Amino acid sequence: MKPRTRRAIWIVSGLAALGIASALVLNAFQSNLVFFFTPSQVAAHEAPSGRAFRIGGLVEAGSVVHEKDALTVHFRVTDTAQTIPVVFTGHLPDLFREGKGVVAQGRLMGDGTFHASDVLAKHDENYMPPEAAEALRKAGHPIDKAAFAGQKGKS
C-alpha cells in the first residue's frame, strides 16, 4: 500500500469514528440523562416507580397548604401542561414561593402524589429590584416562566 493511500484510509476512518461519536452524543442528549423529570413526563409515566428521582417545575399559585403541625406542606408542581401533587415534611428554603421554580427529590407513590424528601428552590437568571418586578407583573410578563424556559424535556 502506498503511504498516501494508507494516510487517506487513516483520515477517512478517523472522520467516520468522529461521526459515530457525535451521533452517539446526539442520541444521548435526545433522552434523559439525569433523574430529573417534568410533571408532563411524570404524567406520561416516564418517571421510574419505586425509585427516588427529582421533579422540577413551578409551584402552582394558590396550591400551598400547610398542615396543622406546620412542618408538613402540600403543594402542586406544574409545568403549565400537567401538575403533580407533592407532600413534604421539613423546612422549606426561603425562596420557596407560589409561582416560583422548585426542584423536589423524592418518590412517586401509588396514589400519584410525590413524597418529597428534599425541596430545593430554583431561581432564575433575572435580577431586578422589587419595583421593576412589580411593574413587569402589572404589564403581564410572567417572569418566572423563564426559570424553566431553558429546560429540555420531552413535554
- Measured distance CA(61)–CA(43) in Å, rounded: 20
- Measured distance CA(84)–CA(104) in Å, rounded: 11
Q: Kindly indicate which of the ranges 66-74, 78-86, 109-117, 144-152 contains the residues binding other proteins, using the contact rule CB under 8 A.
A: 144-152
Q: Shortest gap between Cβ of 69 and other proteins (angstroms)?
A: 20
Q: Shortest gap between Cβ of 83 and other proteins (angstroms)?
A: 18
Backbone φ, ψ for residue 24 (5° rounding): -65, -45
Nearer to other proteins, 85 or 153 (CB): 153
Q: Which of 82, 87, 122, 155 binds other proteins (CB under 8 A)?
A: 122
Nearer to other proteins, 26 or 70 (CB): 26
Q: Which of 68, 111, 130, 139 binds other proteins (CB under 8 A)?
A: 130
Q: Is the dihedral of CA 114, 93, 127, 140 positive or negative?
A: positive
Q: Does 117 bind other proteins (CB under 8 A)?
A: no
**How far is CA 112 from each of CA 25, 62, 92, 131, 132, rounded to the nearest angstrom?**
33, 20, 22, 39, 39
Q: Which of 2, 4, 5, 34 binds other proteins (CB under 8 A)?
A: 34
